[in-house]
Homo-oligomer: A and B are copies of this chain.
Amino acid sequence: MKIALAQINPTVGDFRGNTAKILEFTRQAQQGGAELAVFPELAICGYPPADLLEKPAFVHRCGEALEEIAQATAQDGIAVVAGYVTPSPEGTGKHVMNSAALLRGGQVEFVQSKMLLPFYDVFDEQRYFAPAARQQICEMNGIRVALTICEDAWNDKSFWENRLYQVDPVEELMKQGAGLILNISASPWWRDKRALRREMLAAIAVRHRVPVVMVNQVGGNDSLVFDGSSLVIGPDGQVIAQAQSFEEDLIFADLDARTAECRAEKGSADETGAMLDALTLGTRDYVHKCGFRKAVVGLSGGIDSALVAAIAVRALGPENVTTLGMPSPYSSPGSIDDSRELARNLGIQFELIRIDEIFAAFNHALAGAFAGQTADITEENIQSRIRGVLLMAYSNKFSALVLTTGNKSEMSTGYCTLYGDMVGALAVIGDVFKTRVYDLCRAVNAEREVIPRNILEKPPSAELRPEQKDTDTLPPYEVLDPILEAYVEHYETPESIAAARGLDCEMVHRVVQMVERSEYKRQQAAPVLKVTPKAFGMGRRFPIAVKVQV
């Protein structure tokens, strides 16, 4: 059987657009000689639809779109597998199921719903879906196929040390004599996820001695970036075919002939390159799927904003990116020169707007209320917030989304100003620790110097008071970032972090306190593009008004 893996980039809720895309890919699959075109999980409505699933009209429309696809492909002699939402038959529990349909000759020939519903980190599927009560074999062109949906293939007992679920749908289906495992997925990218997926699916293929075909969604949807990287794995665990990462793709695998395409992972074989690609795709899709073309970035002369500007150019093209330099009384002249050079290297517009007069006007207006008070963090925040107002004004006037430039080290410690440098539609590098920001900049500069060396080499500073350096407030980033990673991503205790790394326990406690005390800022932050196993946002839900003693 010749299968086409149709790795598409749907937009959530765009039934017309997604249907058209599915029909176009099906047409190409048929022209390529495929007998079956396979689309990702929830391809018809896009993943994740979140609470849109609570609207009966949304579920109804999804069923209509499936019917349209069935009708439109009725005469094409090609079968289609695609993910959609079905009303649940159960009398109790959730009203809908996450389902895969096999369409052939205008009919819905077979439906299998998802049994294992992830409900951790960014996944809320038990909030929405009733689980399938059983797994049934599907017959396709004489092959008995185990048609599974994403998580249903993520519970193999030979692969996972700690399993989340007691049942293994794949095992159930193998007992029914499946000769092929087909898995439709919406599996977001983060660091090292592609290797994990490959190893896990290879383990399943080897254990059950059947080929595995996995078709994954591609594209950015809010915080999540789906990489695609769809796979065909042979019964020996070897990759037979692999689709592009971070791009739509259509690849073919002829499982009888055992021939298939196998592409190299385009430009993003290493995880730093992949992260850059993920951030680029996440930015492009967020801006475009929100209905915008243009973005604006505030350039401080520092490395974070330089990287975000470079990513914006990769995502949107230089003609769609504007940068604003907004020096304050404490900005170094070098900052402006470096920003100009960066803009020149990127071929983008750079506007200079001084904030001195505005800052003076604020101080004047507040003089009465602040009489007798000394200058403190208040005045630093005012400068940062003036820049926020200017960026938003530019955004309003020219319909350009503001891209937020804060990194994960800052967001973790609260070393950022709410409504100041935190303004924006999307926190492009909010899940990237500062030390990794340097890695990404080096990747940007791999072919030619885009980000000026000066920006890479100067000591990090917010430049909100004379001679300010990040290290006045924070430990050096080489020390800070591993602490934050251990605390934020792995929930280690301050004591174990200090002990394992030979660090001063009091210093680690101080860092942890900064993380705890800045939760309120993160809850008002722009959506963060998730590129690690634990990002700020929906996947990390902490209360604010707490008094935690652990």
Binding site for B on A (CB under 8 A): 11-17, 46, 48-52, 54-58, 60-61, 91-94, 119-120, 124, 126-127, 162-166, 220-222, 285-286, 289-291, 324, 351, 353-355, 357-358, 360-362, 364-366, 368-370, 373, 376-378, 381-382, 385-386, 388-390, 392-394, 396-397, 418-419, 423, 425, 491, 493, 520, 523-527, 538, 540-550
Interface contact B386-A389, CB-CB below 8 Å: yes
A14 to B546, CA, bound (A): 7
Bound Cα distance from A386 to B393, whole angstroms: 12
* Nearest chain B residue, comparing its CB with the CB of A17: B547
Picked from B54, B124, B165, the residue with its CB within 8 Å of the CB of A92 is B165
Bound form: Cα–Cα A493–B52 in Å: 12
Residues of chain B with a CB closer than 8 A to A119's CB: 119, 124, 126-127
**Contact residues in B for A542 (Cβ distance below 8 Å):** 50-52
Contacts of A16 in B (CB 8 A): 549
For A549, the chain B residues whose CB sits under 8 A away are 13-16, 61
Residues of B within 8 A of A94 (CB): 164
A545 CB to nearest chain B CB (Å): 4
Residues on the B chain within 8 Å of A548, using CB: 12-14, 52, 58
**B546 contacts A289, CB within 8 Å?**
yes
Q: Are A541 and B419 in contact, CB atoms less than 8 angstroms apart?
A: no
Select A545's contact among B51, B93, B289, B365, beta carbons within 8 Å: B289
Nearest 8 interchain pairs by C-beta: A13-B548, A289-B545, A14-B547, A378-B396, A361-B361, A57-B550, A358-B361, A12-B546
Roughly how many angstroms separate A155 CA and B530 CA in the complex, as a whole number?
Answer: 37
Contacts of A392 in B (CB 8 A): 381, 385, 418-419
From B11, B126, B419, A546 is in contact (CB under 8 Å) with B11
Cβ-defined contact, A393 with B378, below 8 A: yes
Q: Closest CB-CB distance, A122 to chain B, in whole Å?
A: 11
The CA-CA distance from A291 to B546 in the complex, in Å, is 9
Copies of this chain, count:
2
Contact A358 B362 (CB under 8 A): yes
Q: Which residue of B lies closest to A545 (CB)?
A: B289
Beyond A385-B392, A393-B362, A546-B289, whether A55 also contacts B357 by CB under 8 A is no
Assess the B92–A166 pair: CB atoms within 8 A.
Answer: yes
Contacting residues, chain B, for A546 (C-beta < 8 A): 11-14, 46, 52, 289
Cβ-defined contact, B353 with A369, below 8 A: yes
Distance A55 CA – B163 CA, assembled complex (angstroms):
19
> Min CB distance, A538 to chain B, in Å?
7
> Given B222, B324, B366, B540, which contacts A390 in the complex, CB threshold below 8 Å?
B366
CB-CB < 8 A to A544: which residues of B? 222, 286, 290, 527
Instruction: Other than A13-B546, A353-B366, give 12 A-B pairs with Cβ distance below 8 A.
Output: A12-B547, A50-B543, A52-B542, A55-B550, A58-B548, A222-B543, A222-B544, A353-B368, A366-B394, A369-B394, A381-B392, A381-B393
Given contacts A93-B166, A165-B92, A423-B419, contact A381 B396 (CB under 8 A): yes
With a CB–CB cut-off of 8 A, which chain B residues contact A360?
361
> How far is A549 from B55 in the complex, measured between Cα atoms in Å?
12
**Assembled-state Cα–Cα distance A540/B54 (Å):** 10
Closest partner residue, chain B, to A487 (CB atom): B55
Q: How far is the CA of A54 from the CA of B373 in the complex (A)?
A: 43
Min distance, Cβ A187 to any Cβ of chain B, angstroms? 17
Inter-chain CA distance A124–B538, complex, in Å, is 12
- A404 nearest CB across to chain B (Å): 10
Which of A56, A57, A382 has the most chain B CB within a 10 Å cutoff? Answer: A57
Knowing A12-B546, A365-B354, A549-B16, the reply to whether A397 touches B419 (Cβ < 8 A) is no
For A357, what are the chain B residues with a Cβ–Cβ distance below 8 Å? 361, 364-365
Residues of the B chain whose Cβ atoms lie less than 8 Å from the Cβ of A56: 491
Q: Complex: how many Å from CA A165 to CA B353?
A: 60
Cβ-defined partner of A393 (8 Å) among B92, B351, B366: B366
For A369, give its contact among B11, B163, B351, B520 (CB under 8 Å): B351
Expressed in whole angstroms, the minimum distance between the Cβ of A328 and any Cβ of chain B is 12
Q: How far is A545 from B219 in the complex, measured between Cα atoms in Å?
A: 11
Q: Are the CB atoms of B545 and A221 closer together than 8 Å?
A: yes
The answer on a CB contact under 8 Å between A13 and B547 is: yes
Minimal Cβ-Cβ distance residue in B for A16: B549
A217 to B401, CA, bound (A): 43
Cross-chain pairs A/B with CB under 8 angstroms, 20 sampled: A12-B547, A16-B549, A51-B540, A51-B542, A58-B548, A119-B119, A119-B126, A289-B546, A289-B547, A353-B365, A353-B366, A357-B364, A358-B362, A360-B361, A362-B390, A366-B390, A369-B397, A378-B396, A389-B389, A524-B524
- Shortest Cβ distance from residue A294 to the other chain B in the assembled complex, whole angstroms: 14
Q: Is the CB of A389 within 8 A of B396?
A: no
Residues in chain B near residue A538, CB distance under 8 A: 541
